Amino acid sequence: MATRKKTFWTFADRFEGDKVVWIILLMLCLLSIVCMFSSSSRLLDDGMSRLDIVKEQFFTVLAGLAVVIFLYNVKNIKWFRIAGALGFPFSLLLLVLLDARVHLPFLRAIELNGAYRILLVEGIQIHVFEVVKVAMVIYLAWAIDAQKRGALPFLKNIGGEWQKILFIYLPFILTFVLILPGSNSSALFIGLVMYIVILLGGGNMRDMLILAAAGVAALMLCFGVYKLSDGKYLQRIGTGISRVFEHEDWEQKLLDSRKGTLEYQEALDAIRQPYAARIAVHEGGLKGKGPGQSTQRYVVPDISEDYIYSFIIEEYGLLGGILVIMLYLSLLSRGSIIVRNCGKDNFAKITVAGLCILISGQAFLHMFVNADIGPMTGQTLPLISHGTSAFLCFSAAFGIILSFSRMAARRIEKETREAVPLSGTRDDVRDRLDDLDEYESGKSSENDYGI
């Protein structure tokens, strides 16, 4: 069979893996560049123009695509297994350094909005929770698969229950507890994602109930430390409680306070972002105001991060918002197809499912907050919101998904080639069709076929 000539127009055909996921990835990258161009002026430093912001985001996107292509070209799954095995030790190291508030000449923890979430390494900011959420999904996929296959690196002689406790449940609890001092919402979200990954890996109902109880107990323990220390330790616990349980009417307090007073400013700060986000969603309408026409970007300081979805609706309308929703829903759908095509490889199946749930779950959590459904969580919109660390981590997630989809496609192609045809080879079928043509045309008789 003649091979198809390679031209510019067949470029996309030469990409292996799931092409729908490629399209989703590229569209999210393009949206991030467009949104950064006309989003918050907070991103502008002295002497910078909006073109400089676009250049910065463009280089971030290029770096993310480089990560995707690198991981996409990893052809042996053993390298992902090795990376998965290192996921928890690496996450544990980062979280311990963060909670210890390390302060060294080349490495230090940075406080942001009253919490420690960033490590500064030689001038490079690493948002620890963004790294941990991806690393722990891959680690748990490795641990669950290795435990089932009896391939754990040590302690092979102990029982299966103890292996689960040491390699799966204990890392889950430690990660959850170590994230709590920096962010309640991140701890709950990452904990929920890890819980779902363990459930997808075949966790039985008894163990899942015990694990959930352990998570609640850890949360209550942290709350006890906060109360006993009179709010001196684990201050983010108090922040989370106030967001969920305290329903002070800040709008009424703003109206009752005299302009310029401390009470007035506190009330204004409390309602500024959520109210402006709702206004942005309302004013967007069906078609939006158009690129660069947003007004709420001057009101919401974090619109390029925590409230980028409301900004998208304000400028591109309900149609733009639905497009973003469809992209993340499509990723979930394609992820389920990739999982089915991974065959019996539990590590690949759990990894792909976990990463797709992580990306889409965070996206919808971000959208709910922008629509004022639930308290503010600070979760960004994957591959659209501003932030280099988050962008690169989610790019790595996409790269792994695409690499596994490529491996799955090659496996299916190999099995198809090696499968025995049900009706004989192509030449046999062609010979039979030729005989049938001769019989129908009268060139052969019934005796030629033993009839």
Identify which has the larger pLDDT, 350 or 44: 350
Quote the pLDDT of residue 451: 45
Angle between helices 388-418 and 308-341 (to 10 degrees): 20
Residue 91 has pLDDT above 90, yes or no: yes
Scored b (16 or more CB within 10 A) or e, 229-265 reads eeeeebebbebbeeeeeeeeebeebbeebeeeeeebe
Top-ranked range on mean pLDDT: pick from 32-41, 68-77, 101-110, 416-425 = 68-77
The confidence band for 323, taking pLDDT boundaries of 50, 70 and 90, is: very high
The bridge status of strand 115-121 relative to strand 124-127 is antiparallel
Question: Which is nearest to 376 in space by CA: 279, 223, 271?
Answer: 271
- Per-residue pLDDT, averaged over 191-197, amounts to 93
List Cβ neighbours of 326 (8 Å cut-off, separation of 6 or more).
none
Residue 449 has pLDDT above 50, yes or no: no
Segment 230-287, tens digit of pLDDT: 666 666 665 655 555 555 655 666 666 777 677 766 666 666 677 777 777 778 778 8
Segment 34-61, tens digit of pLDDT: 887 776 555 555 666 667 777 888 899 9
Identify which has the larger pLDDT, 184 or 102: 102
List Cβ neighbours of 57 (8 Å cut-off, separation of 6 or more).
32, 33, 36, 37, 386
Give φ, ψ of 320 to 5 degrees.
-65, -40
| Average pLDDT of the chain, as a whole number | 79
Alpha carbon distance 109, 126 (integer Å) = 10
